[in-house]
């Protein structure tokens, strides 16, 4: 059953199209993710789905109904954890949770009981009385998630839940997301970490420059690379000057220079390694390692979008078009 459907969803900012006619849906009970580089339009889409930004064109249906006609009902069904915290620095963790509960109209006893349960579940009991401003980044993100589910929403929106968080907290947060999902909450998350998307999401959409370029279950997406034959070489020198010669000698093979002195070779069929090793050695490039690569979502993502994983953070739209920091219209 579809909980959310977006049809031809579009957002322009002063003539700049940030989201360009996207169509997708979220099924009840699943973890659905948007994977894309910085500036792709992920936050803008979340803001339109949750009523924080005006929709330029297209529409969002919540349980089959145009949600702009039932915003109150929509808000009760949705929990939102923005990429930057929206909690009060001077209130304690527990006060923040209770305050959010009050905003959702929960009565005092209920919101306090729920806050205490969440503080326990999120391992924040010790910090419960401390002001939010004294929390570490990871603790802040955990409390923001607790605040987003205080009213037990049907669907939780998580915008880059682990970005800028150190590994220990990121792991805790991923575990909390999986737990919530097991208890029946529908999860929509955005990320620019390929591995995180692969690990957490059941279904994914790749989003680049305001458009969905591919969508499917992780298994479906993986099929696009399963037939690829990939070998990754670690070489004792720089390959870049030899690309032309390589292409001439091995037509049909695609080569991808990675970081350091690694190159990946993609071939349409299983291929013998020895001629490749000889090619490198004859050109005084010692081969330190040759590894058969089992295709991961990373290979699929690179193949479809042409974006290298290390570029995920610095892709951007036109800077000059960006409005004042944090302003959403
Ligand atoms: N308030 C705004 N005014 C103008 N441009 C904006 C605004 N918010 C976002 N943008 C632009 O829209 C594009 C998508 O941004 P965003 O949705 O934040 O991407 P993501 O969350 O995928 O990093 C970017 O090019 C960004 O600069
Ligand atoms: Mg964003």
Look at residue 313 in the predicted model and tell me its pLDDT. 79
> Quick one: pLDDT at residue 223?
85
Lowest mean per-residue pLDDT among 146-150, 197-201, 235-239: 235-239
Indicate the pLDDT class of residue 329, thresholds 50, 70 and 90.
very low
Atom nearest to 45 CA in ligand 1: 17
Residue 261 has pLDDT above 80, yes or no: no
Q: Give the residue whose CA is nearest to atom 5 of ligand 1.
A: 322
Answer yes or no: do 193 and 245 share one domain: no
- When the pLDDT of each residue in the chain is averaged and rounded to a whole number, the result is 90
Domain that holds residue 250: 229-294
Same domain, 186 and 233: no
> What is the number of other CB atoms lying within 10 angstroms of the CB of residue 126?
9
Q: How do residues 159-184 score in pLDDT, each as one tens digit?
A: 999 999 999 999 999 999 999 999 99
Does residue 180 fall inside a structural domain? yes
Atom 1 of ligand 1: nearest residue by CA position? 328
CATH code, domain carrying 132: 3.40.50.300
Radius of gyration of the chain (CA): 23
Among 52-66, 185-199, 247-261, where is mean pLDDT lowest?
Answer: 247-261
Say yes or no to pLDDT of 287 above 80: yes
Instruction: Find the mean pLDDT for residues 240-258.
Output: 87
- Cα 204 to middle of ligand 2, angstroms: 16
In a domain, 306, yes or no: no
Binding site membership of 180 for ligand 1 (Cβ less than 6 Å) = no
Residues 92 and 239 in one domain: no
Indicate whether 34 belongs to any domain: yes
> What's the residue count for the chain?
329
Per-residue confidence (pLDDT) for residue 69, from 0 to 100: 75
- Regarding whether 262 and 169 lie in a shared domain, the answer is no
Residue nearest to atom 7 of ligand 1 (CA): 322
The DSSP H or E segment spanning 182 is: helix 167-182
**Region 227-254 average pLDDT:** 87
Q: 254 with 289, same domain?
A: yes
Are 200 and 290 members of one domain? no
How high is the pLDDT of residue 172?
A: 95
pTM for the complete prediction?
Answer: 0.83
Q: Out of 19-28, 188-197, 228-237, pick the least confident.
A: 228-237
Tokens of 147: 């605040």
Looking at the fold, whether 86 and 193 belong to one and the same domain comes out as yes
Give residue 280's pLDDT.
Answer: 92
Tell me, yes or no, whether 126 lies in a domain. yes
Contact 224, 216 (CB under 8 A): no
pLDDT score, position 318: 46
Strands, E assignment, 90-194: 155-159, 186-191
| Distance from the alpha carbon of residue 290 to the mean position of ligand 1, in angstroms | 41
Q: Has residue 6 been placed in a domain?
A: yes
Cβ(313) to ligand 1 under 6 A?
no
Under 8 Å CB-to-CB from 72, ≥6 apart: which residues?
Answer: none
In this structure, the answer to whether residues 115 and 182 fall within a common structural domain is yes
**Contact predicate 168/138, CB 8 Å:** yes
- Distance (Å, rounded) from C-alpha 130 to C-alpha 170? 22
For the chain, what is the largest distance between any 2 Cα atoms, rounded to a whole number of angstroms? 77
Q: Determine if ligand 1 sits within 6 Å of the CB of residue 44.
A: yes
Q: What is the CATH number of the domain that holds 247?
A: 3.30.70
Instruction: Please answer whether residues 35 and 218 qualify as being in contact, where contact means their C-beta atoms are separated by less than 8 angstroms.
Output: no
Which ligand is the nearest neighbour of the Cα of 315? 1
How many domains would you assign to the chain? 2
Q: How far apart are CA 80 and CA 29, in angstroms?
A: 16
**DSSP letters for 113-139:** HHHHHHHHHTT-TTTTTSBGGGS-HHH
DSSP letter at 301 equals H
H or E segment to which residue 46 belongs: helix 42-49
**Element housing 204 (H / E):** strand 203-208
Q: Residue 255's pLDDT is what?
A: 86
Do 214 and 133 share a domain, yes or no?
yes
Q: Could you tell me if the CB of 43 is within 6 A of ligand 1?
A: yes
Is the CB of 96 inside a 6 Å radius of any atom of ligand 1? no
Q: Are residues 75 and 168 in the same domain?
A: yes
- Beta-bridge mates of residue 212: 207
Q: Ligand 1, closest atom to CA 36?
A: 22
Residue of 12, 13, 82, 205 with the most ligand 1 atoms within 8 Å of its CB, for mutation: 13
Checking if the pLDDT of 321 tops 60, the result is no
Choice from 36, 37, 317, 324 to test ligand 1 binding pocket (greatest atom count within 8 A of CB): 317
Residue 42 Cβ < 6 Å to ligand 1: yes
pLDDT at position 316, please? 55
Cβ atoms of 276 and 265 within 8 Å: the answer is: yes
Pocket of ligand 1 contains residue 92 by CB under 6 Å: no
Same domain, 172 and 49: yes
Angle at 294 (CA atoms; ends 288, 295), nearest 5 degrees: 115
Closest-lying ligand to the alpha carbon of 164? 2
User: Does the residue 80 lie in any domain?
Assistant: yes
Which residue is closest in CA terms to ligand 1's atom 12?
18
User: Does pLDDT of 23 surpass 90?
Assistant: yes
40 Cβ closer than 6 Å to some ligand 1 atom: yes
First to last CA, the chain: 31
Strand order from edge to edge, sheet including 203-208: 78-81, 155-159, 186-191, 31-35, 203-208, 211-217
- Ligand number, closest to the Cα atom of 35: 1
Q: How far is the CA of 84 from the centre of ligand 2 (A)?
A: 9
Inter-helix orientation angle 93-103/108-121, to 10°: 130
The pLDDT of residue 320 is 35
pLDDT for res 210: 98
Assess contact for 45 and 65: CB atoms under 8 A: no
Please tell me the predicted confidence (pLDDT) of residue 326: 38
């Amino acid at each position: 059953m579809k909980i959310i459907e977006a049809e031809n969803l579009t957002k322009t900012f002063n003539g700049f199209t940030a989201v360009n006619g996207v169509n997708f849906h979220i099924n009840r009970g699943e973890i659905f993710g948007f994977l894309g580089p910085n500036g792709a339009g992920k936050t803008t889409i979340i803001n339109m789905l949750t009523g924080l930004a005006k929709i330029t064109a297209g529409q969002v249906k919540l349980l089959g109904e145009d949600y702009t006609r039932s915003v109150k009902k929509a808000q009760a069904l949705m929990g939102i954890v923005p990429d930057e915290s929206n909690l009060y620095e001077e209130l304690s963790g527990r006060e923040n949770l209770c305050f959010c509960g009050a905003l959702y109209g929960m009565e005092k006893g209920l919101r306090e009981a729920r806050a205490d349960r969440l503080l326990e579940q999120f391992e924040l009991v010790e910090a419960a009385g401390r002001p939010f401003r004294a929390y570490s980044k990871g603790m802040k993100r955990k409390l923001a998630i607790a605040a987003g589910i205080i009213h037990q929403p049907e669907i939780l929106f998580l915008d880059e839940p682990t970005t800028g968080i150190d590994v220990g907290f990121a792991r805790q947060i991923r575990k909390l997301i999986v737990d919530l999902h097991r208890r029946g909450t529908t999860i929509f998350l955005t990320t620019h970490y390929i591995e995180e998307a692969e690990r957490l999401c059941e279904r994914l959409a790749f989003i680049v420059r305001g458009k969905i370029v591919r969508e499917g279950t992780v298994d479906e997406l993986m099929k696009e690379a399963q037939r690829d034959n990939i070998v990754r070489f670690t070489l004792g020198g720089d390959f870049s000057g030899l690309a032309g010669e390589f292409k001439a000698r091995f037509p049909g093979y695609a080569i991808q220079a990675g970081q350091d002195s690694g190159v990946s070779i993609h071939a349409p069929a299983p291929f013998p390694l020895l001629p490749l090793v000889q090619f490198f050695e004859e050109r005084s490039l010692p081969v330190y390692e040759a590894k058969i690569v089992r295709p991961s979502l990373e290979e699929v993502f690179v193949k479809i979008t042409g974006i290298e994983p290390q570029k995920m953070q610095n892709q951007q739209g036109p800077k000059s078009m960006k409005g004042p920091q944090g302003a959403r219209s």
